[in-house]
Amino acid sequence: MPVHDWTRVDAGLFHNFHQRWISALCDALNTGGLPPDYFALAEQRIRGPIPDVLTLKLSPGTEEPSNGSGGVAVATTPPRTRLTQRAEAKIYARRANRIAVRHRHGDIVAVIEIVSPGNKASQAAFRSFVEKSADFIEQGVHLLVIDLFPPGPRDPQGVHKAIWDEFQEEDFALPPDKPLILASYDAGEEQVAYVEPVAVGDVLPDMPIFLWPEHYVPAPLEATYQTTWNVFPAALKGLLER
């Protein structure tokens, strides 16, 4: 199911779709998408702002998995995204000060955020979203951001550019024909961004959700988007399909 133009409808309709998509992503991750001892929960309260989806590891401790349960290795199968950016200058700064974010049900390893119109409704709201996203990465929590809304006055080069500028300012321009953005962040000592621009009408690619630095599982964005669209009210589909 190709991506729809969500600017055609009001924010409330996307909010409804957004909530169902979060549930579909959690269901897909919890029914074989994640390794044993990992699980996904929707909108669980942690210190600070509330993310859309948390991916957690039940087992305590911080040792890297050694039994192959840590996902696909980047060295073996690199994520297939159009752009990869590395923030090498931050390595030594991050070694000096790292904060562990924990949750009562397990250790948080990754967060999925689906951008909504409200995240761009004001400068304060957008700044809060960018700071929250950067804070997760700084704390060593991997992040996947899904933005199906085109750039606006607060993010003229897209939300990824605004987030990445918190770590390393460099030239970045969205392709004119692909103004929407999917961005996955490996929050290891060398922070790495895997970025895939998309457009209305595109099939969503799977994007990596990092469980450990350089180890990820694919997020089934297209399959879960289609699952959510299938239960979207039929009376309203025409607003987006015509």
Q: What is the pLDDT of residues 82-114, one digit of tens each?
A: 677 666 544 433 433 333 445 566 788 888 999
Binned at pLDDT 50, 70 and 90, residue 171 comes out as confident
Tell me how far apart the alpha carbons of residues 23 and 41 are, in angstroms, rounded to a whole number. 9
Q: What amino acid is encoded at 239 in this protein?
A: L
Of 10, 3, 5, which is closest to residue 240 (Cα–Cα)? 5
| pTM, 2 dp | 0.85
Q: Alpha carbon 38 to chain centroid distance?
A: 17
**Taking 90 as the threshold, does the pLDDT of residue 145 lie above it?**
yes
Q: What's the pLDDT band for 169 if we cut at 50, 70, 90?
A: confident
Distances (CA, A) of 50 to 90, 112, 133: 26, 11, 11
Answer whether 157's CB lies under 8 Å from 151's CB.
Answer: yes
Cβ-based neighbour number of residue 124 at 10 Å: 8
**pLDDT of 93:** 39
- Tell me phi and psi for residue 183, to 5 degrees: -140, 125
Tokens of 175: 């392709």
- The string of pLDDT tens digits covering residues 18-53 is 989 999 999 999 999 988 888 888 876 555 545 566
Gyration radius of the chain's alpha carbons: 17
C-alpha 50: how far from chain center: 14
How far apart are the C-alpha atoms of 18 and 10, rounded to whole Å? 13
Indicate the DSSP class of residue 170: -
Give Dmax (Cα) for the chain. 55
First-last CA distance in the chain: 14
List, in sequence order, the alpha helices (H) in the chain.
11-28, 91-96, 123-138, 159-164, 221-230, 234-241
